[in-house]
Structure 1
């Protein structure tokens, strides 16, 4: 059991990528780190990274789409550690598709993981974060600021998270809870592989959207090959949100991400964004 003065952070989606890197970084920074993942059988890489860094992690099961799993995980942290000082919502799932070629149920599934999963964890944690004057941090995406071709469902979920947290932030602040979102750009993680995209099959099945999808995929593969951050680099911004005296509400993980999101945030009529993304599929 942690001492009553030791800060405790719970992180979701730590089997790989940013979640894994953030868990190790938080532990190295002196936090009691509860690293959660949907499938404990996928924790080998997490354990190896912790061992190589010389840190200890409290690894637990948590499925963000299952309210009972979320409640059990949060209750377990309080029972074992006595407090909860921060939550990092990192669990998410990628999705590529377009409206005419997928079902509304497909879109609902994307929302369940990327939006409602964040709400499940945040709602369960908030009473404890109020008690500790803690922090609620959510890893979103540059896709939560700028809509991207063939990412309608994914970007819709990330837009929803950003809007929800931006609206919640001033309310939570009245009770001493800091709310932040972290916006990565391209990150060299298993996240992209986990989409399970069969490129040739997707293009063949896209019908009249095939040429545009091919252009989008070629552009995106090139971007990830040439300019993707490492998970550890992206996790620096997550750690800043966790440890800074007065963290910003919105943090990007790279200069590229700052430039990209800045296009939208200074684009009052939307023409700059659509001019940019239209070039991806033309």
Structure 2
């Protein structure tokens, strides 16, 4: 990444809570000028408080950016370039979950999930690349272990994360020819408000699940238990900061030993039987 007397500028999406909030604070602690973006800046209170408590409020600037709105992305980047004259790194973090199976949802549900989790990443990346090229900077994208192993009742979400992984894996060698390092960060369960973005009324969902109710109940019980031992957002954000600061960041990074073990099963499972046996147990 380029180095001058001024701090490197890092834009992070989805910073109102969870990993994005933690990454914004930690990047500022690492000496970066952070442009912390979110769709609704009225939700910036927790981030501002965390930045103040860490003594880095002067290095964290909140801006509006809606990843599904190309005009919003362009306006935000224009402001960043006007105010700071550079963009050294982008962290694609914004996303939203969705629980359900295709028979009981709609194609529009899938499209909306893809719009936020995949096309939002694509739009931000496309808009940022000229500036990252100029800075010989970093493009870091938070995906998920669900971008490596498909998970029951997460068809749309995992499809979007699989798409992001494929997009970035394909982009990485091309971006490297113009000096941009690409990294994907794969968290497992994280104790954050992200689970709230799924927006599910569990009793109502179970009531409406029909023949899928037993499997869904088992899945929900298993998922609740897994989140009880989840990483903190700060722990999950640590590899993002390493990717920002390392001389040669890895392309793919997991955020915990559990995530490394979980995703590693896919690479050695050539016929898919081991992964299918594992995830089948999640639904009884």
Per the normalisation by structure 2, the TM-score is 0.97
SS at match of 1:281: coil
Matched, 1:100 2:137: no
Partner of 2:176: 173
Matched, 1:189 2:217: no
Partner of 1:74: 77
Decide whether the 8 Å contact of 1:4 with 1:81 is kept in 2.
no
Partner of 1:259: 261
Unaligned runs of 5+ in 2: none
CA distance in 1, matches of 2:13, 2:103: 32
Partner of 1:159: 162
Deviation at 1:84, TM superposition (A): 0.3
List aligned pairs for 1:90-169, cutoff 5 A: 90-169=93-172
SS at match of 1:65: coil
Matched, 1:221 2:249: no
Deviation at 1:4, TM superposition (A): 6.4
Partner of 1:270: 272
User: What whole-Å deviation, never above 9, does each CA across 1:244-281 have from its counterpart, x for those lacking one?
Assistant: 11111000000000000001122111111101101111
Total equivalences in the alignment: 279
Matched, 1:54 2:55: yes
SS at match of 2:51: helix
CA distance in 1, matches of 2:68, 2:196: 21
Matched, 1:35 2:36: yes
**What is the root-mean-square deviation of aligned Cα atoms in Å?**
0.9
User: What whole-Å deviation, never above 9, does each CA across 1:206-243 have from its counterpart, x for those lacking one?
Assistant: 11011000000000001101x20000000101111111
Matched, 1:63 2:74: no
User: What whole-Å deviation, never above 9, does each CA across 1:37-90 have from its counterpart, x for those lacking one?
Assistant: 000000000000000000021110000000000011111101110000000000
CA distance in 1, matches of 2:193, 2:133: 34
SS at match of 1:59: strand
Which contiguous aligned blocks of 4+ residues in structure 1 show a shift greater than 3 angstroms? none
List aligned pairs for 1:240-259, cutoff 5 A: 240-259=242-261
Per the normalisation by structure 1, the TM-score is 0.98
SS at match of 2:37: strand
